Structures are given as structure tokens and as C-alpha cells.
Structure 1
Amino acid sequence: MTQRVELATVMDRLAVDGLITEYAVAVDDGDWTAYRDLFAPEGRADYRSAGGIEGDAAQVARWLARSMELFPMRQHLIVNRRVRFGYLEQDTGDTAQVQADYINPMRLAGQDGGSTAPDFVCGGRYAFTLIRTPDGWRITELTVQEKWRRSPHPSPT
């Protein structure tokens, strides 16, 4: 690899890492416009393993906006990011696959509109498929694979 290719790869990794961070911040802050802007026009998200929906970015943003009203405090932690760059039309690095683990503590809303303890916490893995666009890296596909959750109200056995 030449130094120019190595530098471009480092810059792409930083941009991809920034996109994943912007995803977490958009969801945590409830910024659904920013959430939609992270996706390519054909971008889709699948939250079914966490009890959600699958659809285009706008559909999923509307669902998240309603669902997240239950949790006035959210704080995604996205770790163990594994990035693999791919090929599109023989150009190195125009696509990327990212797998990243997450833990997501959320505070449930209280009856008076405030928040209350205990927290709802879940964890799992994200799978992102990304594409380089003229506007930077964008999500074409996002799949959530929830692996566990802890709820203040245990499910009946």
C-alpha cells in the first residue's frame, strides 16, 4: 500500500466512525431529521429483533419518535466497531460493512412526565452497510440484533 492509499483508508475509517457516532447521538437526542439524513435515499433499517419495525429511514424515524417518548433519557454506547471496506465497480472502498456492539441504558418516563428509576437496559449488535456518496458516507442498511434486555418489569414466566 502506498502512503496515499493508507492515508485515504485512515480518513475513511474516521468518517465511518463519525457516522456511527452521529447515529447514536441522533437517536439519543431524538433528532429524527438528523437520523434520516444519515441514510442514503434507498436506506433501510430493521429493528424487528428489538420489537420494532423494518422499513425505509423515514418510516423507521417516525416509529422511533413514537417509541422513544417512553424513554426521556437515552445513552447509546457503541463499541467494538469492526470496519471492512468493499468494492463497488472496481473502486476500492466505496462500500463498507460495520459490525458494532451496543449497550443502551434508557430511563423510563414517570407518570408526571419526569423520569423514574429503574432503568431499562438492552444490548446487542448493529450491522451497518454503508456507501460513499457525494455527501459523505451514508447508511444503506442497518440491522439491529438485540441479544439481551433488562426491564424493571420482568416478563411473566
Structure 2
Amino acid sequence: MNSVTAAAEISTLLDRYLIGLDDDKLNDAWVSALFSDDARVEFPMARHEGIEGLADWHRQALEAFARTQHLNSPAVVDLTGDERAVLRANLVSTHVHHPDTPGDPLFVAGTLVHGEARRTERGWRLTELSFRLVWSTGTPPRPQDDR
């Protein structure tokens, strides 16, 4: 496999991840198609390690919102040999609050995405995704205890 093909496959993993968040198809098949067994996903307010329970973890986090839309830039993918890669992208996430949520109806955040991927027996899989907040506007989600 050449480096252009590998970079395209890895970039597509991020695209499929973000579309999945907005499309409500968060199940074990979604996780397995994107992540390695030892994957780690980290947001500014929470973190999850391993693919077990990863779909549920995402579903619970998204329950705070009526819907979301994640728009990302093309990912910059740097291969570090034949088996590993690092990716970076910009992301703007719009979160629409439920109608009964006080405050601004939207929470919008701009983040830098950092990821790592590894070639596995199932193909390229994300081993790490982390999101660093650059800016935000609107009403952030309430703590889970307040929902």
C-alpha cells in the first residue's frame, strides 16, 4: 500500500467517526470499524480507554443535546513507518440543546484534533483521538448530575 492510499484511509477514519456522532449509529460495529482494541478517546471534560463500552460512552455524552453537527478540515496525516501514523485536523462542533435547556440554544466549539492510528489485522484503526478546545461560544452542557 502506498503512503497516499494509507493517508486517505486514515483520514477517512476521522470522517466516519464524526459523521457517526451526528448520525446516531453509535454501536459496537461502528467502534470496531474505527478503533483498535486499546484505543483512547479524550475530550477536555472526559476520557475513555479501550473499545469496550466506547459506543455507550459516546451515546451518553451526546444525550445532553438534541442533535449535533461536526465539521472538520481535511486531516493532515503523517506516516511514521508502515504501521503507524499521526493525524491532525481542525473541528467546529455545533451542539443543539434540548428545547427545555436554559440559556443559549447552541453550544459551538472549535477544537484541534490529534489522533494516532495503527495498521492492524483489520486494517488501519484509530488508537487515539484527543480534542483540545481552542474556543467556544454559547451554553456548555450541564454536568451529568444536573440532567
- Judge same fold: TM > 0.5, yes or no: yes
Percent identity of paired positions between Structure 1 and Structure 2: 23
TM-score normalised by L of structure 2: 0.81
Larger RCO of the pair (alpha carbons < 8 Å, separation 6+): 2
2:94 maps to 1:105: yes
2:73 maps to 1:76: no
- Give the one of 25, 31, 36 matched to 1:36: 31
Amino acid at match of 2:95: M
Amino acid at match of 2:121: P
Deviation, 1:127, is: 0.9
| Distance in 2 (alpha carbons) for counterparts of 1:61 and 1:146 | 22
Q: Which moved more, 1:139-148 or 1:123-132?
A: 139-148
TM-score normalised by L of structure 1: 0.76
Deviations 1:98-134 (A, max 9, x none): 011110011111139xxx9631101111111101123
2:140 maps to 1:145: no
Amino acid at match of 1:95: R
Residue segments in structure 2 that go unaligned for 5+ positions in a row: 141-147
Deviation, 1:138, is: 0.3
Amino acid at match of 1:40: S
Deviation, 1:63, is: 2.5
User: Greater share of helix residues, 1 or 2?
Assistant: 1
Deviation, 1:55, is: 2.4
Do the aligned partners of residues 46 and 86 (structure 1) sit closer, same or farther apart at CA in structure 2, a change above 3 Å counting?
same
> Structure 2 matches for 1:1-157, cutoff 5 A?
8-33=2-27, 34-37=29-32, 38-47=34-43, 49=44, 51-87=45-81, 93-111=82-100, 118-152=105-139
The total of aligned residue pairs comes to 137
Do the aligned partners of residues 149 and 60 (structure 1) sit closer, same or farther apart at CA in structure 2, a change above 3 Å counting?
farther
